[in-house]
Amino acid sequence: MGPTRVPGLLFGGDYNPEQWPEEVWEEDVRLMAEAGVNVVTVAVFSWSRLESAPGVLDFGWLDRVLDLLHAHGIAVDLATATATPPPWLVRRHPEIQPVDAAGTRLEFGSRQGYCPSSPVFREATVRLARAMAERYRDHPALVLWHVGNEYGDHTVECYCEESARDFRRWLQARYRTLEGLNAAWGTSCWGQHYTDWTQPAPPRKAPGPVNPAQVLDWRRFSSDALLACFEAEREVLKEVTPDIPVTTNFMSLLHHLDYWKWAAAEDLVSDDAYPDPADPLAPLKAALSYDLMRSLKRRPWLLLESAPSAVSWREVNVPKEPGVMRLHSLQALAHGSDGVMFFQWRQARYGPEKFHSAMLPHGGTDTRQWRETLALGADLRRLAGVAGTGTRAEVALLLDWESWWGLEAPESLPSARLRLHQLLLSWYAPLHRRGIAVDLAPHGRDLSDYRVVIAPNLYLCTTEQAADLAAFPGRLVVGPFSGVVDAADQVHPGGAPGPLRELLGLRTEECWPIPDGRAQDVLAEDGTRLVARTWSEWLELDDAQVLARYRGGPLDGRPAVTRRGAVTYLGCVLDDPTPVLDEVLDAAGVTGVTGAPLPEGVEACRRGDHLFLLNHGAAPATVTLPAPGADLLTGRPLSGSVAIAPRDAVVLRL
């Protein structure tokens, strides 16, 4: 049983009863019970209904909702209701509304209208969280606290004067003195030397490019400022209800928040995932972010929101074809989720999300959607034994948010085309195709469990981080433009790869971005032809050996891929690094979970002694099984191989 104490897998969704007359609630709970829903998220946007004026609290309706749910055996992930400050608070304190980089204060009328640094906002959230916790501390339905909602979705940062003051406090704690700040920000450049602590400010819209070191600190600060909002509420919840786990719903691979830090502050990692049904790469991208969720605490996590079918916030919102909701749900389980939850239970009749799909659609129960909801509930009951089981990965991808922020800083880099998500995917895709389990890992984590560690990019790499990598006993692969700057975004003496130079046995004499649309041939020493795009480097080798060289172009004949001992370096972005990777994996003895090649479109993952085989492809696929077992979804005993129809899946208990 996981931290929520709900037996088996969690199944349910966001439930917004305040959008419906009370007579509908009876039908809701009856249908929830019919579908096997065992948990719902309640009160995410209910602040203005719970507190209609300062200190005027009305919990009556929420009491009735929780009692009704409990009477039908449905547990509650209770939100602290702080995701939208109510109109009375905003009108009394217009200063809590966020301000954008150009200085415009944003209006009320949407959600997340708050400045993360506003003491008025923070105090009001803490008061409400305390009132909620005291009210429901002993309610038997309460199994999980849901703080805020999707931090960093609409409001990532605020540039107001209050935020500026908070930023200065944060800077003072980091640098102590103005000299320290001036040195770290390199303010001798472009005449930015600060002489008083009232002068440094958020990187607001300026006539030209803003100091990138200032922007990097702003990213750190903004992630911390939102985290402080979360932590302020969590502290109260922990004081009043120490045994109820606390989560906040993450947003997959979100650029703006350092989820390593955030995950450390919560009891259970939960994620909202919305793979686009129209994107052929959706299963790949989802797999990567689910592996991140599992890796954040190296424990099962929870898919807290996903779309039963179409969303409402893309320009074109394509529904999920029959079977896809089930397949995508099973995928989250395969990658470590202990449940499947949706946004939302009942489809709304009004508001910006009235066309967003729901478990129970506008059309009611005589619909394909509802039939698929019922069927999924039944499948999840068959898979109850999956809950709590873990994944053993021998390969890790290094992911560091600070480096990501530095790499994607605006207007100061040799190329704006190096995007971390794409770089991660380019390594993850061939691993995924081979059914190899992958963790993501931050700097500082003990890597000794892994045979192979891949750092797709480490633009920002400190001397300590480099020393940790040098101590890794397995095979290491480092991607281009790594070891470039220190924690203050200052180029390491001598240039890249800075503190990684000895480990890689080379130096990057010049960065050589490849113009858009141009392909650069690369020839491996064994004759394999590769293609680089976006990025290449003029490398000078110390004691590294050459694995591949550029062929033609400005770097003709120069090294492109190198090796020193167990460390491989790529000075370029390869279209498909599979040949380089395969060689490393084979040398390390890493194999996929089935031990055999997988047919196109099939994903294979192992959790405990459960083998998930998911056919995302459009054609039937036959998969060789590593051992006999029973398919938990159908009860069939299987051995040898199994044919899987398009969009179908097998969950084998080995």
Cβ neighbours for 94, distance < 8 A, ≥ 6 positions apart: 105
Interatomic CA distance for residues 492 and 71, integer angstroms: 63
608 Ramachandran zone, left/alpha/beta (phi>0; psi -120 to 50): left
8-state DSSP, 313: S
Distances (CA, A) of 536 to 242, 418, 498: 53, 11, 17
Q: Which of 162, 217, 224, 272 binds ligand GLA (CB under 6 A)?
A: 272
Exposure b/e, 159-177, CB count within 10 A at least 16 = b:
bbebbbebbbebbeeebee
51 is catalytic: no
Interatomic CA distance for residues 7 and 282, integer angstroms: 30
Q: Please, which residue, 117 or 347, has the CB nearer to ligand GLA?
A: 347
Distances (CA, A) of 238 to 144, 145, 199, 227, 479: 12, 10, 38, 16, 42
Residue 273 CB, shortest distance to ligand GLA, in Å, is 9
Exposure b/e, 245-266, CB count within 10 A at least 16 = b:
bbbbbbbbbbebbbbbebbeeb
Contact 110, 154 (CB under 8 A): yes
Residue 361 CB, shortest distance to ligand GLA, in Å, is 15
Residues 512-551 contacting ligand GLA, CB under 6 A? none
224 binds ligand GLA (CB under 6 A): no
Interatomic CA distance for residues 237 and 234, integer angstroms: 5
Interatomic CA distance for residues 631 and 8, integer angstroms: 18
Residue 352 CB, shortest distance to ligand GLA, in Å, is 8
Residues 298-357 contacting ligand GLA, CB under 6 A? 305, 307, 311, 343, 353, 356
Distances (CA, A) of 524 to 430, 499, 594: 18, 27, 29
Q: Please, which residue, 79 or 397, has the CB nearer to ligand GLA?
A: 79
Residue 577 CB, shortest distance to ligand GLA, in Å, is 33
Strand partners, 307: none
Residue 41 CB, shortest distance to ligand GLA, in Å, is 9
Residues 353-382 contacting ligand GLA, CB under 6 A? 353, 356
Q: Exposed, middle or buried by CB within 10 Å (0-12, 13-18, 19+), for 219?
A: buried
Interatomic CA distance for residues 598 and 55, integer angstroms: 60
- Binding track over 90-129 against ligand GLA, x by CB under 6 A: ----------------------------------------
Residues 607-626 contacting ligand GLA, CB under 6 A? none
Q: Please, which residue, 85 or 212, has the CB nearer to ligand GLA?
A: 85
Residues 235-264 contacting ligand GLA, CB under 6 A? 249
Q: Please, which residue, 220 or 346, has the CB nearer to ligand GLA?
A: 346
Here the tokens at position 165 are: 């003051």
Q: Please, which residue, 352 or 554, has the CB nearer to ligand GLA?
A: 352
Contact 580, 604 (CB under 8 A): no
Single-letter amino acid code for the residue at 506? L
Residue 311 CB, shortest distance to ligand GLA, in Å, is 5
Residue 149 CB, shortest distance to ligand GLA, in Å, is 5
8-state DSSP, 485: B
Q: Please, which residue, 356 or 549, has the CB nearer to ligand GLA?
A: 356
Here the tokens at position 477 are: 């692969």
Long-range own/partner contacts, residues 578-581 (CB < 8 A, 24 or more apart):
578/430, 579/524, 579/528, 579/530, 580/477, 580/524, 580/530, 580/547, 580/548, 581/427, 581/430, 581/431, 581/454, 581/477
Q: Please, which residue, 258 or 272, has the CB nearer to ligand GLA?
A: 272
274 binds ligand GLA (CB under 6 A): yes
Strand partners, 610: 607, 653
603 binds ligand GLA (CB under 6 A): no
Q: Please, which residue, 185 or 274, has the CB nearer to ligand GLA?
A: 274
Residue 24 CB, shortest distance to ligand GLA, in Å, is 19
- Binding track over 168-207 against ligand GLA, x by CB under 6 A: ----------------------------------------
Strand partners, 395: 438, 452
Residue 321 CB, shortest distance to ligand GLA, in Å, is 19
Q: Please, which residue, 159 or 230, has the CB nearer to ligand GLA?
A: 230
Q: Which of 150, 233, 266, 379 binds ligand GLA (CB under 6 A)?
A: 150
Single-letter amino acid code for the residue at 215? V
Q: What is the dihedral of CA 122, 123, 124, 130, to 10 degrees?
A: 110
Q: Characterize the bridge pairing of strands 475-478 and 649-653.
A: unpaired
Count the residues of the shown chain that bind ligand GLA, applying the rule CB under 6 A: 11
- How many residues belong to the chain? 654
Residue 312 CB, shortest distance to ligand GLA, in Å, is 7
Q: Which of 46, 149, 248, 295 binds ligand GLA (CB under 6 A)?
A: 149
Residue 43 CB, shortest distance to ligand GLA, in Å, is 12
Q: Please, which residue, 138 or 315, has the CB nearer to ligand GLA?
A: 315
Catalytic member of 150, 157, 266, 603: 150
Residues 451-510 contacting ligand GLA, CB under 6 A? none
305 is catalytic: yes
Residue 226 CB, shortest distance to ligand GLA, in Å, is 15
Q: Exposed, middle or buried by CB within 10 Å (0-12, 13-18, 19+), for 348?
A: middle
Q: Please, which residue, 149 or 369, has the CB nearer to ligand GLA?
A: 149
Here the tokens at position 517 are: 């649309």
Residues 31-60 contacting ligand GLA, CB under 6 A? none
Count of Cβ atoms closer than 10 Å to residue 634 Cβ: 12
Here the tokens at position 283 are: 């299963």
Q: Please, which residue, 214 or 347, has the CB nearer to ligand GLA?
A: 347
Catalytic member of 51, 157, 162, 305: 305
**Catalytic residue positions, numbered:** 150, 305
Site residues (CB under 6 A) for ligand GLA?
A: 149-150, 249, 272, 274, 305, 307, 311, 343, 353, 356
